Structure 1
Amino acid sequence: MRRVLPQPCGELSAGVLAALGGRAGSAVPTVPDRATADSRDLHMALHTCYALHYAGFDGVDEDWEWNPQLLCLRSELERRFLTMLRSDAGSDLDLDRELDALLTVPDEDTGIAAFLEERGEPWQVREYFAHRSILHHQEADPYAWLIPRLRGRAKAALVAVEFDEFGGGHADRIHQRLYADLLAGAGMNSAYLFYLDAVPAHMLAIVNMMSLFGLHRGLRGAGVGHFAAVEITSSPASRRMVRALERLHADPASIRFYREHVEADAVHEQLMRREVIGDLRAAEPELRASIAFGIHATGLLEDRFAEYVLTRWRDGRTSLLSAEPAGEGSEFDRPFANEQ
């Protein structure tokens, strides 16, 4: 697996990438005052720092992972990001209300999966695959950090969900592997984080939130809330994606990924809501607000991502940043292989 450094997209990410090109302990940049928490430059820098805790990068000194200077820089990036999330989420968060909202079926679904089911074109489906690949290449990995921070019934239930995410002991069924198969089936590049330079800040923010919540014990409640939000909302959206891909005669490998989530996440919803959150509410009631925050923050970032993508699609524009693999009439805009 090749692990290639991303392209810089501003002063901050350029400084981080330049530092990683040298030996651990080389000078790292300072965070400029103008670096805003919603900028792609900040999120690319933060994603690059987090990547050192995952597969890392080819040719990068592994001692960078725990370098104090880089961790200090990362801490400032996290502080700005978390401050923005908390400000946008507000303080009036109630766990029961957040859970009820997740389970409420809207009268009209205006999300990406509904759009793709009703009128999505092959190029839009492939763009969506590219966006989500940044998340699904690391699917379930950040949640593993929650395991040593839980006890009893909550730990057992979360491990049961993770066991399914990692294929139940079968390498070919690991969800990350299934997504790579999905990309290949759609005629796309399935290499690790291949489309990283093509996705906007909105997608990077979602993935960075997962790492942020996973790496900090003090945010374990938010991590559980985020994980629950994903599992509770995944099954209905995946069902829509199955119908969208069947309509477009997509490759079975592409459909398989979403069909797996229709079945598995319906069970995971119950485990996360009743066993993990239910046990935490009783054992650590002080985490209620943090769990609610994790749920709400997930909804905020996913809604912003969906608005960004759908606004461009409705205008007939690409939602990706690179000009080549996007838009009607592009390389992405070709029939799926199984189309008759």
Structure 2
Amino acid sequence: MHDSDRATQTTPNRVTALANSRLSVAVQPRGPLSELLSFTIGLGAAPSQVERGLAGVQEAADRAVALSPGLVVDEDIQLSLFLLYGLHYGSIPNLEASLEWHPSLIAARLSLEAAFEHEVRSLVDVHEPPAPRRKEVAAWLFRATAPQGPPRLPLFIARSATLEQVRELLIQRSIYTLREADPHSWAIPRLTGTAKAALVEIQSDEYGGGDPKRVHATIFAQTMRGAGLDDTYGAYLDQVPAITLASQNMMSMFGLNRRLLGAIVGHLAAFEMTSSIPSKLYGDGFRRLGFAKDVTWYFDEHVEADAVHEQIAGHDLAGSLAQDRPELLADILFGALACLALDDMAGEHLLGAWQRGESSLRRPATALVADRR
């Protein structure tokens, strides 16, 4: 059964109710599981409604997994995971905080995570892993993240993207970037020594080095406002597709699960190693369209910052962790390759839609900008 088939099972009166729901952002369910979760964990739900939802949520999660043709692009499952992770982040304020550790919700999350992780692992293949030594691991990561050709999406943004398309890029990126660095910060208390110091150094830069105006998420919010978009976290949640949510959800899964410490470290290493050149091209694209420094600052900041961060992440963070804890080597490499795989899928989704003359969003950006005026 496809997502579209399952979505039709959502009753119209509930869809209408949810559009004006207890949640602080507009969230329409994308299938039975996300519908059930939306009504169960939103603030103000009737106690009887919460009780019924909690009683059936694990069964609904298992059913969603069984029916899914592919979890990475499954709209219902990815929205459901995003809402469950939102309980831990507090990124959507009107999710009921008292339910954060409810056993039924944790059981449902674990069921979804087990299938999601299995599918992500099937997408990558670690070839010729290095010895668990700092220098060798860093060298392997730099080879793995080296460009295999021209960066297609960044080049398109730099040379050809329209105003509507660069707005779509910002909307897609807002799901992570308005909370930039947060998924990786879960790893800090789980590290020691050189690796811990390296992660704190990187994260300190991401959080502005003590200056709230320089927090990267804050700078990105300024970019969104300058492009005529809403910078409220989750404002465009209803518009982004499953692959965008999957990229964020994978980071959350890696970060929240202590057993996946190696994966979140590898993910951050690959993330930093592949940021500098694309950021330069994205900045060029926005300048081509006439945007000033207040909009391009976010991208310009990452050209220099990530050129430094990639060295720290490769050697001091991932390399040192592998050397200190060799049993984590396989997951460090997996996390790096998983980052590349899902980023490629997300990028191809954007390019494919634009090449077909379509929006990459579930609703075009022009309509979203018009709504805000």
TM-score (norm 1): 0.91
Letter in 2 for 1:248: L
1:290-301 superposed matches below 5 A: 290-301=331-342
Residue 3 of structure 1 contacts residue 192 of structure 1 at CA under 8 Å; is this kept in 2? no
Pairing 1:44-123 to 2, within 5 Å after superposition: 44-90=79-125, 92=127, 94=129, 96=137, 99-110=141-152, 112-123=153-164
Deviations 1:96-130 (A, max 9, x none): 585143452334332x1111112111111000000
After superposition, residues 1-340 of structure 1 pair within 5 angstroms as: 3-4=24-25, 6-21=27-42, 22=45, 23=47, 26-28=52-54, 29=57, 30=59, 31=61, 32=63, 33-35=66-68, 36-38=70-72, 39-90=74-125, 92=127, 94=129, 96=137, 99-110=141-152, 112-323=153-364, 325-326=365-366
Distance 1:231 1:61, change over 3 A: same
Residues 179 and 3 (structure 1 numbering): CA distance in 2 closer, same or farther, change over 3 Å? farther
Cα deviation digits, residues 165-223 of structure 1 (max 9, x gap): 00000111111111110000111111111111100111000000110000011100000
Indicate how the Cα distance of structure 1 residues 271 and 117 shifts in structure 2: closer, same or farther if over 3 A, else same: same
Aligned counterparts of 2:251 and 2:345: Cα–Cα separation in 1: 16
Contact 2:151–2:278, Cα closer than 8 Å, also in 1: no
Point out the structure with the larger helix share. Answer: 2
One-letter amino acid of the structure 1 residue matched with residue 235 of structure 2 = F
CA shift, 1:90, in A, is 3.4
Q: Residues 65 and 315 of structure 1: is their aligned pair in 2 closer, same or farther, counting only changes over 3 Å?
A: same
Give RMSD over aligned pairs.
Answer: 1.9
SS across alignment from 1:52: helix
Cα distance in 2 for residues equivalent to 1:98 and 1:321 = 38
Contact 1:3-1:56 within 8 A present in 2 as well: no
Amino acid at match of 1:37: L
* Amino acid corresponding to residue 178 of structure 2 in structure 1: H
Unaligned runs of 5+ in 1: 334-340
Look up the SS of the partner of 2:230 in the other structure: coil
- Output the CA distance in 2 between the equivalents of 1:128 and 1:189: 14
SS in 1 for 2:311: helix
Contact 2:86 2:95 in 1 (8 A): no
Q: Which amino acid aligns with 2:117?
A: L
Contact 1:166/1:174, CA 8 A, preserved across alignment:
yes
Residues 50, 85 of structure 1: alpha-carbon distance in 2 compared, 3 angstrom cutoff? same
For the residues of structure 2 that align with 1:319 and 1:234, how far apart are their CA atoms? Answer: 21
Residue type matched to 2:98 in 1? Answer: D
AA aligned opposite 1:220? L
Render the CA deviation track for 1:263-311: whole Å, top value 9, x for unaligned: 1111111110111112112111111110110011111111111111101
What percentage of residue pairs aligned between the two structures are identical?
A: 37
Distance in 1, matches of 2:179 and 2:89, equals 8
Partners of 1:106 and 1:163 in 2: CA distance: 31
With over 3 angstroms needed to count, the CA separation of the structure-2 counterparts of 1:98 and 1:16, relative to structure 1, is farther
Moved more, 311-320 or 18-27: 18-27
Number of aligned residue pairs: 327
Residue identity opposite 2:341 in structure 1: L
Secondary structure of the corresponding residue to residue 53 of structure 1: helix
Alpha-carbon separation, structure 1, partners of 2:79 and 2:243 = 11
Offset of residue 239 of structure 1: 0.8
CA-CA distance at 1:331 after TM superposition = 6.7
| 1:59 positional shift | 4.2
Contact kept, 8 Å, 1:93 with 1:292, in 2: the verdict is no
Higher mean alpha-carbon deviation, 37-46 vs 98-107, is at 98-107
Q: 5+ residue gaps in structure 2?
A: 1-22, 131-136
